[in-house]
Amino acid sequence: MTFKGKALSGAMVALMASTAMLQAQDMAALEAAAKAEGMLTTIALPHSWCGYGDVIAGFKAKYPEITVNELNPDAGSADELEAIRANKDNTGPQAPDVIDVGLSFGPAAKEEGLLQPYKVAAWDEIPDAVKDAEGYWYGDYYGVLSFMVNKDMVDNTPADWADLLKPEYNGMVALAGDPRASNQAILAVLAAGVAAGGAPGADSGQKGLEYFAEMNKTGNFVPVIGKPGTLAQGSTPIVINWDYNALAAKDSLNGNPPLEVVVPENGVVAGVYVQGISAYAPHPNAAKLWMEYIYSDEGQNLWLKGYCHPARFNAMVKAGKVPQDLIDALPPAAAYEKAVFPSLDEQAANKDAVTGGWDAVVGANVQ
């Protein structure tokens, strides 16, 4: 037997075979333990978000013995951590096994003792910059913030953040979450701050708050959580949200109304979301099996089908594991060239500025 053109000894061949067998046995044992638990409880996973509908359906099809109990699909990252806190002593159906939160929430959850460590089989292909070295949290996908625009109601499509302050967009602009709790909305404030000249962090947070205070004062800001439904109904004709959510909405609305998705010219901010297993998970083996599934080739490609860039994207492309049609369905690569990936410290500083200052500076009760 050879490996990379070199002959391997019998001992090395046997070692490789035994290692592969051990991994297969470990996976079989995990599957058996998860099936015995019989349930997986998720939280904050809307089916239209990043293709999660297909991901959940894929997991159910592969493991029909495990019931997927879905809690509060529209919850924000802060709500997910609160759900763990509130159910520490509860092994019932309201206790989440797994969470999917914004990058800055991962370290906070670890520090508070809300997560347990686990490293999936594909651990080495998750970039080091977006995972905890001890395995408490790990990046799963990313996208960039965009403008989702109802073209039946908006004649001139805004091209940049500054455009959203123009009088023609009076009563039209909404965030896709509450900036006091939603990671998506918190990073939208960061992006607006960067576009206004702020450095990622507390500076972007303050400039972003000032930007939304001006938008609120002029009457352009709508204090409603923007969704495809509110956009289609006309109550929030312009929604600031992740590109993958906007592109998925464009597909689901199917031209009724016609929808345009714009990556702004400046303040292009990429957001990484991370996975974690609750330290108090009632179904820890099902949680681990879920992680193995979503980081498998199948799970990662399902996220890509949902217009997200999965964590293993570069490694999978290099290995020829990504269908070309999924790559072609994404926006042109040029749209991402200016993307800024805020560090954990920058996100934490921005988050503190935004959540602590929104009520006083902006004064809009988003709900």
- pLDDT at position 169 is 98
The Cα–Cα gap between 198 and 348 comes to: 15
- pLDDT at position 334 is 76
Classified as helix, coil or strand, 19 is helix
Token pair in block for residue 167 = 């009088």
Token pair in block for residue 354 = 């935004």
The Cα–Cα gap between 338 and 343 comes to: 16
- pLDDT at position 216 is 97
The Cα–Cα gap between 316 and 91 comes to: 37
Strands (E) across the chain are located at: 2-3, 6-7, 39-43, 67-71, 98-102, 115-116, 138-150, 173-175, 238-242, 259-262, 270-278, 309-310
- pLDDT at position 337 is 79
- pLDDT at position 339 is 86
- pLDDT at position 24 is 58
The Cα–Cα gap between 153 and 161 comes to: 19
Cα dihedral sign, 5-7-12-13: positive
The Cα–Cα gap between 333 and 146 comes to: 15
Q: What angle do CA 185, 191, 196 make, to 5 degrees?
A: 130
Of 239, 192, 206, 226, nearest in space to 340 by CA: 192
Ordered per-residue pLDDT tens for the chain, 367 residues: 333 343 444 444 343 344 344 455 699 999 999 999 999 999 999 998 899 999 999 999 999 999 999 999 989 899 999 999 999 999 999 999 999 998 989 999 999 999 999 999 999 999 998 899 999 999 999 899 999 999 999 999 999 999 999 999 999 999 999 999 999 999 999 999 999 999 999 999 999 999 999 999 999 999 999 999 999 999 999 999 999 999 999 999 999 999 999 999 999 998 899 999 999 999 999 999 999 999 999 999 999 999 998 999 889 989 999 999 998 888 777 777 788 889 889 999 999 999 999 999 999 999 9
Token pair in block for residue 44 = 């904050």
Architecture of the 143-270+334-362 domain: 3-Layer(aba) Sandwich (3.40)
* In contact, 233 and 257? CB cutoff 8 Å: no
> What is the CATH code of the structural domain delimited by 27-139+273-328?
3.40.190.10
CA-based end-to-end distance of the chain: 63
> What b/e readout covers 154-191, taking b as 16+ CB neighbours within 10 angstroms?
beeebeebbbbbeeebeebbbbbbbbbbbbbbbbbbbb
pTM above 0.75, yes or no: yes
Question: Tell me, what amino acid is at 316?
Answer: M
Strands (E) across 207-343 are located at: 238-242, 259-262, 270-278, 309-310
The set of residues, in sequence order, having a beta carbon less than 8 Å from that of 188 and lying 6+ positions away, is: 145, 175, 176, 179, 208, 240, 241
Using alpha carbons only, how large is the chain's radius of gyration in Å? 22
- pLDDT at position 27 is 93
Give span(s): CATH 3.40.190.10, the chain.
27-139+273-328, 143-270+334-362
The Cα–Cα gap between 231 and 250 comes to: 11
